């Protein structure tokens, strides 16, 4: 029998359906991604108001349906309006939401992923020295939580510690290989010592610390591209929002 349930959720995506309804993809705390319909949202005096916009954190009551669940009631916790009000923050935030959406199946839950997104959006909404570092860290941390922790300390092949050396990131193996072991391998990204150190820092530091970190713009873009390629290697597809972010950075909009 269909049941009604309550969740804390972040709106990943929302679009209008017909004259009155809105379809939303929610990332719920307890049930992972859920697709749901908000009926009559565009009518004057709708009880949902403008709350079902991407980035909004809310308490929501849903009714289970066969294809789509139905949103019964919502209560806003944080609208994250500063993210939507700032074009740059919005683009970086969109790339984070798409990363979550494309990494998980409907109703798939991964421990610690929901709080990780909440914390990251809270940080993104405030002062951020370089959003490229925040997005790169987010992508790498999501990979790690899902089970694709990048192996950066030792060569995947011979096990030798590689700190301070130039190494190559092996996208298929999910970690670095040393100069002796790279021959014959495809899908390698060269990693200079500075890039390797930064990747390790992004994995180790929390988001608040990363939000005040700064490196050269070239290194930040390099790390972001590497994080994109690393995560796309297991997602097995490019994400639309990332091309927009890279284009924005290329134009020097920051």
Is 143 within 8 Å of 233 (Cβ atoms)? no
> Residue 9, exposed/middle/buried by CB under 10 A (0-12, 13-18, 19+)?
buried
Site size toward Zn ion (CB under 5 A) is 5
Which pair of structure tokens corresponds to residue 154? 């030792």
Which member of 58, 178, 199, 220 binds Zn ion (CB under 5 A)?
178
Least distance in Å: CB of 164 to Zn ion? 14
Residue 153 in contact with Zn ion, rule: CB under 5 A: no
Residue 157 in contact with Zn ion, rule: CB under 5 A: yes
Residue 196's nearest CA partner among 143, 155, 249 is 155
Is 69 within 8 Å of 86 (Cβ atoms)? no
Complex with Zn ion: residue 138 or 168, whichever CB lies closer: 168
Complex with Zn ion: residue 73 or 157, whichever CB lies closer: 157
Residue 154 in contact with Zn ion, rule: CB under 5 A: no
Is 22 within 8 Å of 42 (Cβ atoms)? yes
Which member of 9, 155, 220, 249 binds Zn ion (CB under 5 A)?
155
Binding to Zn ion by CB under 5 A, coded x per residue (else -) over 191-230, reads ----------------------------------------
Count the Cβ atoms, other than its own, within 10 Å of residue 154: 17
- The site for Zn ion (CB under 5 A) is made up of 155, 157-158, 178, 181
């Amino acid at each position: 029998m269909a049941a009604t349930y309550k969740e804390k959720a972040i709106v990943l995506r929302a679009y209008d359906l017909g004259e009155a309804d809105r379809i939303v993809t929610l990332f719920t705390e307890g049930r992972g991604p859920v697709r749901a319909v908000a009926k009559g949202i565009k009518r004057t005096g709708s009880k949902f108001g403008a709350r079902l916009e991407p980035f909004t954190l809310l308490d929501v009551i849903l009714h289970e349906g066969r294809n789509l669940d139905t949103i019964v009631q919502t209560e806003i916790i944080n609208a994250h309006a500063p993210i939507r009000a700032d074009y740059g923050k919005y683009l970086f935030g969109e790339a984070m939401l798409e990363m979550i959406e494309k990494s998980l199946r409907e109703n798939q839950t991964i421990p610690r992923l929901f709080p990780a997104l909440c914390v990251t959006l809270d940080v993104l909404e405030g002062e951020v020295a370089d959003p490229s570092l925040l997005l790169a860290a987010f992508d790498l941390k999501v990979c790690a939580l899902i089970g694709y922790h990048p192996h950066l300390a030792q060569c995947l092949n011979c096990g030798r510690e590689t700190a301070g050396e130039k190494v190559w990131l092996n996208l298929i193996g999910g970690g670095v290989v040393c100069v002796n072991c790279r021959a014959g391998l495809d899908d390698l990204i060269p990693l200079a010592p500075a890039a390797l150190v930064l990747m390790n820092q992004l994995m180790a530091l929390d988001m608040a610390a990363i939000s005040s970190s700064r490196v050269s713009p070239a290194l930040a873009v390099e790390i972001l591209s590497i994080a994109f390629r690393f995560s796309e290697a297991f997602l097995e597809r490019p994400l639309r929002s990332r091309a927009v972010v890279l284009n924005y950075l290329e134009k020097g909009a920051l």
